[in-house]
Amino acid sequence: MLPDPTLSLATPPDDRTQAHGGSPSTVDRDNTSQRTIDHTPAAAPNADAPPGYAIESELGRGGMGVVYKARQIGLNRTVALKMILSGAHATQRDMTRFLAEAEAVAAIKHPNVVQVYDIGNHAGRPYMALEYCDGGALTPWLKDRGKLPPHEAAELLEQIARGVAAAHDQGIVHRDLKPGNILLAPQPKVADFGLAKMSGSDDLTRTGAVMGTPAYMAPEQAKGDTKFVGPTADVYALGAMLFECLTGCPPFQGSVAEVLRKVAEDEPPTVRSLVPGTPRDLALICEKCLAKAPHERYATAGELADELKRFAAGEPVSVRSIGVVEKAAKWARRKPTRAAAYALTLAVVVLAGFGLALAVLLQDALTARVQAEVARDHLDDEKKETEKSRDVAEQARSGEVVARNEAEAARNVAVVAKDELAKAQEKLERVEYGRTMQVAHQEWRENNIAAALALLDSTRKDLRGWEWQYVHRLCHSEVLTLKGHTDRITSASYSADGSRLVTGSWDGTAKVWDTNKGAEVLTLKGHKGRVSSVSFSPDGGRVVTGSDDKTAKVWDAKTGIELLTLNGLTATVVSVSFSPDGTQGVRAKSP
C-alpha cells in the first residue's frame, strides 16, 4: 500500500483504535508499547464531526489519526469515524496514505473484514466511516482466555484467514496481521489496513525498511526485503497467531532486536514441544505457515483456510511431517559453513575410528608373529638340548604350526578390516555424491548454471547415474531443439530413464525421439484426429496416445507397431497414462 517510510515496526495506540483502523504510531518492545500520543487539546468533538455525523466518544488516537464512536444520523447507525489529526497541515504523504488505506478497505467485501461505509473530506480533513465493532480486539480476549482448545483455535483462524483471503483476491497484502488488528463482533474481522500493499500501486516503503510488528513478521519482512513481501507473509502472520492461540504466546519473544534476529535466523519452537497434547495435524499446519522460505508455506490465505476447515471436520490434511534428512538439509542450507564443518568432523571421526581398529588388528598380528619367532627359537634350543626326545620336538613343531595359523588369522583379520574401511570410504563418497546432486539441482533451480555444472564435473564418473544425466540435461536444456512435426505440439513425455521423449501434435501423429542425439526414432500414425496426449509406460516399452478422434492407442515403443485401440470415449481424450507399475492398464480421460 502506501505506508510512511519513516514509520517502522508500527502498532496502533490501543486495541479499539487498532481494531477500527487507527494510525500506526508505536514500536513493540518486549510486548510493551511505547506510545506516542497527541496531547494537543482537542476541539469539541462535534465541532469536528463531518455533516451527517454526531460524535459520541473518542475511541483512541495515534500520531496521525483519531477514531471516534459516532452516530450516522441519516441511517441512525453507530460507526467508527476515523479522521486525520493534522487536518490542513497534513503532509501529502499522510493524505495519500490515509486515502490509500480507505481504498484498500473499500475494495474488500467480506463478513470477516471491517467494512467501510463512507469516505469524505470535512474542513480539509479526510475521514472514513467504518463498521463499528463493540466486541473488542483479539488481544485482550486471548489474554483472558489463555490457550484455546485446538478445534476452537482452528475455527477462529479459519474465519480470519477467509477475510485475509478476500484481501488477497483483491491484490491486497495486509502486512500487519496480529491479534490487535483482529476485532470480535462477535465473529472475527480483519481491521487496520494502514500498512497494506496493493498490487499495481507504488509502494512508498523503501527497500530495507522494516514494517509491521516483529512477533508476527515473516522472515523476509523482518529482513526488510519488501519486494518479496507478498501473500505468504500474511500466511506467516496467521501461523504466528495460530501458534499464540494454541500455546498462549507468539513464536518468538524478547526485545525488538532479539525478535527480529530470531525471526530471520532461528526455527520457532514446535507447538507440541510447548503443548504436547496438541493434535499432530494442527501442529503441522502451524509449522508449514511458519516456514522460513515463502515457497514452503501455503501459497495463499485461502489454502490455509481450506486446510483448517479439513482439520476441524476431521478430514485428512495435505501437510505431512518432514523427515530428519529434510530438516538437516534445511538447516545446512541456512548455515552451510557450519554444516560443512560438522560433516568434515564426522568424516574424520569415522575414518579415525576405522584407523584405530586397523592399528589394533595390525598390532595383534605383529604380536602373533613375534610369538611365532620365539616359538621357533625355543624349538631350536630344544633340538640342541634334547635331540633324542622326539615327543618334545613334535610338540614344539605343533606349537609353531599353531603360531603360524594364528599369524595367518591375524593377517586375514587385517585384510577384512582394510576391506571394511574401503567400503566405508566408498559409502561416504556415494553419500557425498548424492548431496552434490542435490546442491547442483538447487543451484540450477536458482539459475546458477555455472555452479551447477562445476558440481556435476566434480563427481566421480563411475557414480554418475540417471540423476546426473537429468541435472546435466537441465543445465543444457537450451541446446536441444526437436523438429519434425508439421503442426502444433500438444503433449510431451519423457521415458523413465530420460533417454527418449514422445510428443503428440495436431498433425495427427506422435513421434519418439532420442534425447541424447535429438534424433527422431519413430513416427506413430493411426489416429484420425489431432493427438492431444501422450505418455510412456514405466518400463519404457510402450507408448499410449489420446486423440480428438475419441480413441486412445497403445504402441510398441521400439517398433512403432500399434498394439491396441481403446474405444468407448465420448469426447476428446485429454489425458492418458499407464498405471504406476505398468501392468494394470491404461487411464484415459475425456472432459
Catalytic residues: 176
**Residue 591 burial (C-beta neighbours within 10 Å; 0-12, 13-18, 19+):** exposed
Bridge partners of residue 504, in order along the sequence: 491, 510
Phi-psi region of 131 (alpha: psi -120 to 50; beta: other; left: phi over 0): beta
d(C-alpha 195, C-alpha 4), whole Å:
8
d(C-alpha 507, C-alpha 496), whole Å:
26
At position 241, the amino acid (one-letter code) is: M
Helix H, strand E, coil C: the string for 361-408 is: HHHHHHHHHHHHHHHHHHHHHHHHHCCCCHHHHHHHHHHHHHHHHHHH
d(C-alpha 458, C-alpha 284), whole Å:
38
Query: What beta strand segments (E) does 372-527 contain?
Result: 489-494, 500-505, 509-514, 519-525
Q: CA 381, 385, 387: angle at the middle one, nearest 5?
A: 105
* DSSP calls for 243-271: HHHHHSS-S--SSHHHHHHHHHHSPPPPH
d(C-alpha 54, C-alpha 49), whole Å:
6
DSSP 8-state code for residue 59: E
Beginning with the edge strand found earlier in the chain, give each strand of the sheet holding 53-61 in spatial order: 53-61, 65-72, 77-84, 125-131, 116-122
> How long a stretch of residues is the chain?
591
Bridge partners of residue 119, in order along the sequence: 128
Can you tell me which residue has the cell 489519526? 65
Alpha-carbon separation of residue 347 from 17, 132, 425 (angstroms): 59, 65, 9
Cell of 308: 483448517
d(C-alpha 529, C-alpha 507), whole Å:
8
Contact 557, 588 (CB under 8 A): no
Q: Tell whether omega for the bond before 179 is within 30 degrees of 0, i.e. cis.
A: no
Contact 279, 242 (CB under 8 A): no
